[in-house]
């Protein structure tokens, strides 16, 4: 675990280093978990949460206040959950950090989500889609109307795929409007609306207004309810292209889920254009992956799926190397792409049996998630255990008819469970290797503009009573430090000299906040 010298380093620098470090390691989240004694910092890399550092009790409040402050949150409010955001840049990489706080019995738990747009901007090709899959998606995009659905569990990378498709469709001659919750990425040339259910601005309400704005393409963040599904279907059959996500496992489940919703079947049959189902698997490190013999059950699975004898596959090097984290580096998408043909349209309209629908969906032309995943194992991109974790083998193998399916399935299930146990055990190993850090300007966050979601004036009141000579205010009336104090004198937020506060300003929201609360803000 990383150790910080809290005696010598100011909290501001430590907070910056934690964020910079997490971004460099390609982490998706930073957790500040309070306990009675201290705060444990954990970071999530490629879907796996690991210990990173400990903040001693003495500095607990300072650190949490610091993070909340740069996220534009109200540092005086510790009893209610809050949201904030930090927009920043590291070299050429734009970053968007979403910060949330939650009061627990041991103090506030803060989570920083690191939204990395760079993947969405690299196009569909960079996501791990096969050429055949990209061809199918391009076919869906070309049709001027119809619904394209991207499906998968939370955290399966649906948004990245949706944004990549949107980028492909984003030309000067179309009007694209989105309704999202939350808007995860600002795209130039697209009108994006943030849904806010708490004020009655639901997906359905926004959609009705969008339809009056002459849209060509509508992106709906997620189809969660019958009404949204109905509007999506109606919008698409009246000549609009609709792109959305739905929380299901594969193409077949998606069709079943939609037909279970209160949507007219004949309209749905006409509207649906394509389904892209996806999961994520960790990518093998190209520097240290190891070739090993396949086990009996792995051989069996390859034989069933590809009718091929596979004797050797690549696997992760458990010890990892300087380029990776335990043998994996980054993640790759597994995809099942389905173009809706006339037979499937008829089947949806006529409500045919699931078994028959399955045959139509997996007619030999569709590459299933399992096939795509196993192909990626053969290509040395990911490991067999990653596919076991990601894909519902039992469900998917049903499509491969075998006499001894049942016996074989039992073996596969057993192995699957033992693999899962192994993985859980592995994730208990908490050490993260320190990367040799280069003091490279490119890698430092240099401009940080906060998105203030709570009232900025209140925060200014707090700071203006202190000695804040080096703070430059931006449009929001608030400023954030750069991570490099040497070369970026513009917009630099030096550690304010807040030694003694003569007069403690009144707490902005809660008037009864005890006075000593502010003294913690004594960096």
- Applying CB under 5 A, which residues contact Zn ion? 285, 287-288, 321, 323-324
**Shortest Å distance, C-beta 440 to Zn ion:** 21
DSSP of 190-201, one letter per residue?
-EEEE-BGGGTB
Residue 295, CB-side half-sphere exposure with 13 Å CA sphere: 11
Q: What is the DSSP letter of 128?
A: T
Looking at the Cβ atoms of 228 and 383, the one nearer to Zn ion is: 383
CA distance 190 to 170: 8
Looking at the Cβ atoms of 325 and 362, the one nearer to Zn ion is: 325
**Shortest Å distance, C-beta 325 to Zn ion:** 8
Looking at the Cβ atoms of 276 and 288, the one nearer to Zn ion is: 288
Looking at the Cβ atoms of 278 and 329, the one nearer to Zn ion is: 329
Looking at the Cβ atoms of 70 and 324, the one nearer to Zn ion is: 324
**Shortest Å distance, C-beta 359 to Zn ion:** 43
CA distance 402 to 396: 13
Q: What angle do CA 430, 436, 440 make, to 5 degrees?
A: 130
Alpha helices in 317-368 (DSSP H): 342-349, 354-361
Phi-psi region of 25 (alpha: psi -120 to 50; beta: other; left: phi over 0): alpha
**Residue sitting closest to Zn ion (CB):** 285
Residue 228, CB-side half-sphere exposure with 13 Å CA sphere: 21
**Shortest Å distance, C-beta 201 to Zn ion:** 46
**Shortest Å distance, C-beta 372 to Zn ion:** 24
Yes or no: say if 238 and 229 are a contact pair by the CB < 8 Å rule.
no
Phi-psi region of 342 (alpha: psi -120 to 50; beta: other; left: phi over 0): alpha
**Shortest Å distance, C-beta 288 to Zn ion:** 3
Q: Which two tokens stand for residue 198?
A: 């708490």
Looking at the Cβ atoms of 307 and 436, the one nearer to Zn ion is: 436
Yes or no: say if 12 and 66 are a contact pair by the CB < 8 Å rule.
yes
**Shortest Å distance, C-beta 290 to Zn ion:** 10
Looking at the Cβ atoms of 134 and 321, the one nearer to Zn ion is: 321
């Amino acid at each position: 675990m990383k150790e910080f010298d809290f005696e010598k380093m100011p909290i501001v620098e430590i907070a910056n280093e934690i964020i910079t470090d997490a971004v460099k390691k390609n982490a998706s989240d930073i957790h500040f978990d309070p306990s009675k004694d201290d705060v444990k910092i954990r970071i999530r890399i490629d879907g796996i949460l690991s210990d990173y550092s400990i903040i001693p009790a003495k500095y607990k409040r300072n650190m949490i206040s610091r993070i909340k402050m740069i996220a534009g949150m109200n540092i005086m409010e510790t009893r209610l959950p809050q949201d904030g955001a930090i927009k920043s840049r590291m070299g050429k990489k734009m970053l968007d950090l979403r910060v949330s706080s939650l009061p627990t019995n041991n103090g506030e738990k803060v989570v920083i989500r690191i939204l990395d747009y760079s993947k969405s901007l690299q196009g569909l090709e960079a996501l791990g889609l096969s050429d055949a899959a990209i061809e199918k998606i391009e076919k869906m995009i070309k049709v001027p109307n119809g619904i394209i659905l991207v499906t998968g569990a939370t955290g399966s990378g649906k948004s990245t795929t949706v944004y990549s498709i949107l980028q492909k469709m984003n030309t000067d001659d179309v009007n694209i409007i989105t309704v999202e919750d939350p808007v995860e990425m600002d795209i130039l040339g697209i009108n994006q609306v943030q849904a806010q259910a708490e004020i009655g601005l639901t997906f359905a309400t926004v959609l009705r207004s969008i339809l009056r704005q002459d849209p060509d393409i509508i992106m709906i963040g997620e189809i969660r309810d019958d009404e949204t599904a109905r509007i999506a279907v109606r919008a698409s059959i009246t000549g609009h292209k609709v792109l959305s996500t739905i929380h299901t496992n594969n193409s077949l489940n998606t069709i079943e889920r939609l037909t279970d919703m209160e949507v007219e079947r004949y309209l749905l049959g006409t509207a649906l254009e394509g389904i892209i189902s996806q999961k994520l698997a960790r990518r093998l490190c190209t520097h240290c992956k190891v070739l090993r013999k396949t086990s009996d059950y792995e051989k069996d699975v390859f034989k069933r799926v590809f009718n091929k004898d596979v004797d050797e596959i690549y696997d992760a090097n458990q010890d990892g190397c300087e380029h990776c984290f335990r043998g994996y580096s980054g993640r790759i998408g597994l995809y099942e792409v389905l173009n809706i043909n006339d037979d499937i349209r008829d089947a949806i309209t006529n409500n045919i049996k699931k078994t028959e629908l399955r045959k139509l969906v997996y007619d030999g032309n569709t590459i299933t998630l399992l096939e795509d995943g196993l192909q990626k194992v053969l290509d040395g991109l990911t490991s067999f255990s990653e596919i076991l974790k990601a894909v519902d083998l039992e469900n998917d193998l049903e499509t491969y008819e075998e006499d001894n399916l049942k016996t074989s399935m039992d073996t596969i299930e057993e192995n699957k469970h033992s693999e899962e146990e192994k993985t859980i055990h592995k994730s208990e190993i908490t050490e993260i290797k320190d990367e040799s850090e280069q003091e490279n300007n490119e890698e430092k966050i240099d401009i940080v503009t906060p998105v203030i979601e709570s009232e900025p004036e209140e925060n200014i009141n707090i700071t203006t009573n202190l000695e804040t000579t080096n703070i430059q205010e931006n449009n929001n009336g608030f400023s954030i430090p750069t991570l490099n104090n040497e070369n970026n004198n513009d917009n630099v937020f030096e550690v304010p000299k807040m030694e003694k506060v003569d007069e403690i300003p009144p707490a902005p929201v809660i008037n009864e906040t005890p006075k000593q609360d502010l003294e913690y803000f004594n960096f």
